[in-house]
Each structure stands twice: as C-alpha cells, then as structure tokens.
Amino acid sequence: MFDATACPQNIAYPTDLGLLNEAREKTQELIDTLFKPGLQAKKPRTYRKVARKEFLKVAQKRLKNKKELRWAIGKQLRYVARNLKSIDLLLDLYQGFPLTAREQKYLMVIHTLYQQQQMMFKARVHSVEDRIVVTLPKTRTI
C-alpha cells in the first residue's frame, strides 16, 4: 500500500517556458562541447546570464499574466534559435560528426521542440500534435 503524501514534491510540471529554458541550457552545453579553440576563431555568443535572468524574472512570479508569459516564451525561442544556428555552423566545420549518440538525440529533440513551440507561438495556440512535454535529463559534470 502506498501513501500519496510521501511522493517527492520537487518534480515540476513541464511548462512551455521551462521546456524552452532547458532546451536553451542544453544547446549551450552542446556549443561548449563543439567549440575547439584551434578549429574556430571565436566562441559563439549565447547570452547565458541575460537569458537566465529573463527566464527567472517570469518563472519565479507566482501569478504570470499572458503578456509576460508570451514575452518570455518569445525571448527563449529566439535564444534557442540563435544557439541552434551556432551549433549548425560549428558542425559544418568538422570533417566527421563529433557528437555522441546521446548528444545527437538531444539535438534532434531540441529541434523538434523548437519547431513545435515556434508553431504554437506564431499561431497563438497551446496544443500541437505529438507535443513534446518531457523535460530533458540533466547531464552530470564531474
């Protein structure tokens, strides 16, 4: 017999804003992985601190109005788009494919998530077929 009150409380419901933030963070990790100082001249800009601050400004609010939420989702979409373009440019510089199978899977999921969120944002709807609502697992750095 299980007691429902003993379930962990730190499991967050995946919101559109939270999913985009996680995708942005994951794309930043992929950029860090792909960037090699000898191969590229300059590391692409990701605006990590600014993007995180803008995310937290809205995410930490108890009551969010539609305008603020739409603004924050739009900003995160633009950050993810910028990072995806940077990743594509970095991948073009390599002879082979430098990503592991797991990183390649993350990249495909992020591309799909971005396309779905972009479509919902433009159409001003909150549903799409085969919608991704699973959060990306955190990778451990040692």
The most distant pair of C-alpha atoms in the chain lies apart, rounded to whole Å, by: 60
Helix (H), strand (E), coil (C) string for 96-109? CCCCCHHHHHHHHH
Q: What angle do CA 76, 80, 82 make, to 5 degrees?
A: 115
- The answer to which of 4-13, 35-44, 83-92 has the lowest mean pLDDT is 4-13
What tokens does 8 get?
């962990």
Q: For 25-43, give one letter per residue: b (16+ CB within 10 A) or e.
A: bbbbbbbeebeeeeeeeee
Please report whether residue 71 resides in a domain.
Answer: yes
Is the pLDDT confidence value at 92 over 80?
yes
Rounded average pLDDT over 101-110: 95
What pLDDT score was predicted for residue 1? 57
Mean per-residue pLDDT, 75-96:
95
Q: What is the per-residue pLDDT across 110-138, written as a single tens digit (0 to 9) for each?
A: 999 999 999 999 999 988 888 877 665 56
Cβ atoms of residues 90 and 40 within 8 Å:
yes
Asked whether residue 79 is domain-assigned, the answer is yes
Confidence of residue 65 (pLDDT cuts 50, 70, 90): very high
* Residue written as token pair 């799409």: 128
> Is 3 a domain residue?
no
Would you give the end-to-end CA distance of the chain in angstroms? 38
**What confidence score (pLDDT) does residue 4 get?**
56
Where helices occur in the chain by DSSP H, the ranges are: 16-34, 48-59, 66-92, 101-123
| pLDDT number for residue 88 | 95
| Residue 44 domain boundaries | 14-123
What is the chain's mean pLDDT, rounded?
88
What is the model's pLDDT at position 31?
A: 96
Residue 4 resides in a domain: no
Tell me the mean pLDDT in the region 67-75. 96
* C-beta of residue 16 within 8 angstroms of C-beta of residue 120: yes
Do residues 122 and 28 touch, judged by C-beta distance below 8 A? no
Residue 105 included in any domain: yes
Q: 116 in a domain, yes or no?
A: yes
Q: How many domains does the chain have?
A: 1
At 13 the pLDDT is 67
Domain assignment of residue 97, yes or no? yes
Which tens digit of pLDDT belongs to each residue from 44-63?
999 999 999 999 999 999 99
Residue with the two structure tokens 């990306």: 136
